[in-house]
Structure 1
């Protein structure tokens, strides 16, 4: 094996290991409207590209109405599709660093048989894994090693961005902890002052009381 081929092999292995890809296969039973959605959650950073591939069994009009929507924890909705079957591909760019949910619900028809369900294959790719590298290689006429280096560069940039985001979160949490600690200290000082004042008032009151009764 040539040196360039070795580099290409190990770079491909590294990118395949680190890239963010989520593949799931599950079943959704058809039920009446109003039941809880089935949701799959993932996390992306701001500006990151996400590709969601969905493959459903069955067909439209088989007594089931399969719906899905994609929404993040901040309320941004990226897709909402009703009554679908087969393959569906959704690509979007995250508006902010947040968790997002791919939610499904399967509604049974009024005259449909019981025990209906749909099989779902869900593939979520984000970041460098979501890009069409074959198209990039063909458009820019890159060698395999050059392509892998480009993938590694983008992956490194994504990791750096995530580390910066985590650093900001840590700083924000530290500021929150320091603020909470300062408030607790101030509250403790107020409690001590109140207790000392109450104790002094009790001593003063009891001394006057005993004097008025000629006990002291």
Structure 2
């Protein structure tokens, strides 16, 4: 019994809904004279495109200054836009499997009309297939909307497979390290026990020789 076109379209629409559902992170960032900082951490695989989009509320001259700093755990800087108002976008390609931080700082630089000044922040981080400009790809390659969506899903699945392969390899390395450590601990314990037994035997022999020399036994 074959599936009806309606059911196939419904299933495809559901897949697209699940894949495309993504919400940006929204929060309020209070200002302080020392600079109130908030960081968001993500993981990225090697050679993946990352696009960071920040939408900052407020206006110039309201006594607040929002700066953004994107950095990874390898010590690389990927952008330092300053005094952000409105939308700013930073893109980079990762050079290694690493974690990266998107840090936003709100510094109080002048008088504000509020006793507790803050800026509205909307932060969106897109990685891999999500970060690509699919509208441009569709126009360049003259793809139909369904073909574009299929391409996007295919690349997202490829990203997931790549990440799973990385996690599998990492788990293998951790397991090998754990087994190696257990083996070393076992032989260290055996060596320690052998040294203690040898020391005990030596003490017995030494004490017997000592007492014999004193004619006590």
Q: TM-score range by the shorter chain?
A: 0.7 to 0.9
Ranges of 4+ aligned residues in structure 1 off by more than 4 Å: 5-9, 18-22, 110-113
Matched residue of 2:165: which SS?
A: helix
1:201 Cα deviation (Å)?
Answer: 1.1
CA shift digits 1:82-130 (9 cap, x unpaired): 2111111112212211111110111112545642111101111112122
Q: Is 1:61 aligned with 2:61?
A: yes
Task: Please show how residues 187-198 of structure 1 align to structure 2 within 5 Å.
Answer: 187-198=188-199
1:144 Cα deviation (Å)?
Answer: 2.9
Distance in 1 separating the partners of 2:185 and 2:132:
49
Distance 1:9 1:53, change over 3 A: farther
Q: 8 Å contact 2:38–2:105 — kept in the other structure?
A: yes
Matched residue of 1:115: which SS?
A: coil
Task: Please show how residues 74-89 of structure 1 align to structure 2 within 5 Å.
Answer: 74-89=74-89
2:182 equivalent in structure 1: 181
CA shift digits 1:119-143 (9 cap, x unpaired): 1011111121222222222221212
1:39 equivalent in structure 2: 39
CA shift digits 1:60-88 (9 cap, x unpaired): 22111111111112212111112111111
Distance in 1 separating the partners of 2:19 and 2:83:
35
Distance 1:22 1:83, change over 3 A: same
TM-score calculated relative to the size of structure 1: 0.87
Q: Is 1:203 aligned with 2:207?
A: no
**Greater CA drift, 154-163 or 15-24:** 15-24
Task: Please show how residues 109-124 of structure 1 align to structure 2 within 5 Å.
Answer: 109-112=109-112, 114-124=115-125
1:142 equivalent in structure 2: 143
1:173 Cα deviation (Å)?
Answer: 0.8
Distance in 2 separating the partners of 1:123 and 1:189:
55
Q: 8 Å contact 1:21–1:125 — kept in the other structure?
A: no
Q: Show structure 1 runs of 5+ residues with no match.
A: none
1:146 Cα deviation (Å)?
Answer: 1.9
1:160 equivalent in structure 2: 161
Q: 8 Å contact 2:62–2:110 — kept in the other structure?
A: no
TM-score calculated relative to the size of structure 2: 0.87
Residues matched between the structures, number: 213
CA shift digits 1:19-49 (9 cap, x unpaired): 694511111111122x562101111111111
The higher relative CO (CA closer than 8 Å, separation ≥ 6) is in: 1
Query: What is the alpha-carbon root mean square deviation over aligned residues?
Result: 2.3
Q: 8 Å contact 1:45–1:94 — kept in the other structure?
A: yes
Q: 8 Å contact 1:50–1:94 — kept in the other structure?
A: yes
1:180 Cα deviation (Å)?
Answer: 1.1
